[in-house]
Structure 1
């Protein structure tokens, strides 16, 4: 066993996928977002598990991610959510990918590549309804469609947009975006442009805006066990998928007045039993949790004292007299009846759970557990 490791609970992942299905019903397809290495959870094992669970689509950010999924045997449709680069057009056609499209030059390149291959390019037309990032502004939709009309080898399989505030309690702007989206869809219908999927719902909307579900939803953070924000009270039970664990390297008594770690930011006010563990910011654990974070030892919360350094953290285990070298320590996850969540870590580090997962998930020692808790 490594000095520290990340555990990925595939049974919890399946459970969360079932909760998405429960939220949207049987008539709505589910796109599982596995971009950025499945938010640090491992894109290939996660996608394989979700394919078995019934995912209809997968969503990645870049074409090279889609190619990794195809190489791993994933046959479901893959939407490249950030779109493609010019040189990707032949690859998109060869591997039957669905790029997000918001540029006319890319539409033309796809049309040419599809014609050359004797195929049809299936695209998802991205509309900007208020996020302000990628997408055809809805006010510019007509001239964009006019230019697309001559392309005979491009089929609009999906039309989508992205909600900017679905994870907030106030849904006013989300409703404005949805109204713009519906208006754009009607303009497509008026031009007799047919498409199979309209999608605007991310995890926040899956959980909290049922009228946004449509024919397809894009589930991301909820698959990994977290609500998109503290403003969302999940109507379903989500189970955490990722845990970060390590073991105690050394335990020793430190006298009162002795300092701990770089910068002497913690000075013992009493004789203190210090446990040193093999995790640091190199392992994705935030340095911002110096003197603020907690860990679990013997199912008991213990404080981090001193600075989080690159590879080591020190804990005050004075109130856990049985703590000893080689004991398991949990920094993210459950031990006994106690749990430290990504949301808790994120709040203390002044960030979001997405960043915590992506950072911790880069650990090369990642263990995938099956439904019985054994290595998958």
Structure 2
């Protein structure tokens, strides 16, 4: 990959993004074959606020390369993976109460904390709390010791399609889930949904990070 061209791509994205919009760089699967560490360094150098990966090996590769930026570990986790998440200083995606409770118990027993982004299922149906039944999970995570509620997010399933109707439905569902949390008096500072297609075609879905 031409890292100079990659940096230019980030500059173009940054120039097109509204002020205050954070950029997260997904570097799973070796940054889609381009080299996770190399791409991560370019992304961070161009202002990316965090990196996103899908498994512990990917996260460990970044940490072993000396990258200290926030890393969001997407996907469902097993309880056996939680000690490594804590050791690597990862931000954890959580979509169910059992993992939230296990993460809380581990972190609080060690006098540490884990930042959490709650995964909301808005229709992709991989994992996460359903948008219309997610408030209880968010409230639980906010109340559990050792966990720091930081974000709520979902994934577009069809944002690259010409017909954006389902993508807009997913956005409405995530907004409804976030509104319920806000009405309950909880603060969530990082809401995110957009992949590249969403960033380009659905500016109303930019939220706090893309």
TM-score normalised per structure 1 = 0.54
Output one character per residue of 1:204-228: Cα deviation in whole Å (capped at 9) or x when no partner.
Answer: 01111111111110xxxxxxxxxxx
Matched, 1:139 2:132: yes
- Per-residue CA deviations over 1:271-308 (Å, capped at 9, x if unaligned) read xxxxxxxxxxxxxxxxxxxxxxxxxxxxxxxxxxxxxx
Report the equivalent of 2:52.
59
Q: Which has the higher contact order (CA 8 A, sep 6+)?
A: 1
**Shift in Å, 1:142:** 3.4
Once the two structures are superposed, the pairs formed by residues 293-308 of structure 1 within 5 Å of their partners are none
Partner of 2:40: 47
Query: Which structure is higher in helix share?
Result: 2
Kept in 2, the 8 Å contact 1:163–1:202? The answer is yes
Q: Could you tell me whether the CA contact under 8 Å between 1:57 and 1:79 is conserved in 2? A: yes
Aligned partner of 2:118 in structure 1 is 125
How many residues align? The count is 210
Q: Which residue matches 1:9?
A: 2
Residue-by-residue CA offset, 1:291-342 (whole Å, 9 max, x unaligned):
xxxxxxxxxxxxxxxxxxxxxxxxxxxxxxxxxxxxxxxxxxxxxxxxxxxx
Say whether 1:203 aligns with 2:196: yes
Equivalent residue in structure 1 for 2:66, among 52, 69, 73: 73
C-alpha distance in 1 between matches for 2:177 and 2:86? 27
Q: Does 1:98 align with 2:91?
A: yes
SS class of match (1:58) = strand
What residue number does 1:185 align with? Answer: 178
- Post-superposition offset of 1:133: 1.3
Deviations along 1:74-108, one digit per CA (max 9) or x if unpaired, are 11110111132211212222222012111211111
C-alpha contact 2:23 2:48 (8 A) present in aligned 1: yes
- 1:146 Cα deviation (Å)? 5.4
Contact 1:23 1:207 (C-alpha < 8 Å) held by counterparts: no
Q: Find the partner of 1:166 among 137, 150, 159.
A: 159
- 2:205 maps to 212
Tell me how far apart the structure 2 counterparts of residues 76 and 138 of structure 1 sit (CA, whole Å). Answer: 29
Aligned partner of residue 216 in structure 1, secondary structure? coil
Q: Deviations over 1:25-74 (max 9, x none)?
A: 33111000100000000111111222222211001011221111011111
| Structure having the higher Rg | 1
Secondary structure of the residue that 1:15 maps to in structure 2? helix
**CA-CA distance at 1:139 after TM superposition:** 2.4
Inter-partner Cα distance in structure 1 for 2:186 and 2:22: 21
TM-score by length of 2: 0.94
1:26 has 2:19 as partner: yes
Displaced runs of 4 or more, over 2 A? 142-150
Q: Secondary structure at the match of 1:29?
A: coil
Show the 5 A alignment for 1:259-270.
none
Once the two structures are TM-superposed, the CA of residue 131 in structure 1 deviates from its matched residue by 1.1
Please say which of residues 20-29 and 105-114 is displaced more in the overlay: 20-29
Asked if the contact 1:130/1:164 (under 8 Å) is kept, the reply is: yes
2:141–2:149: 8 Å Cα contact kept in structure 1? no
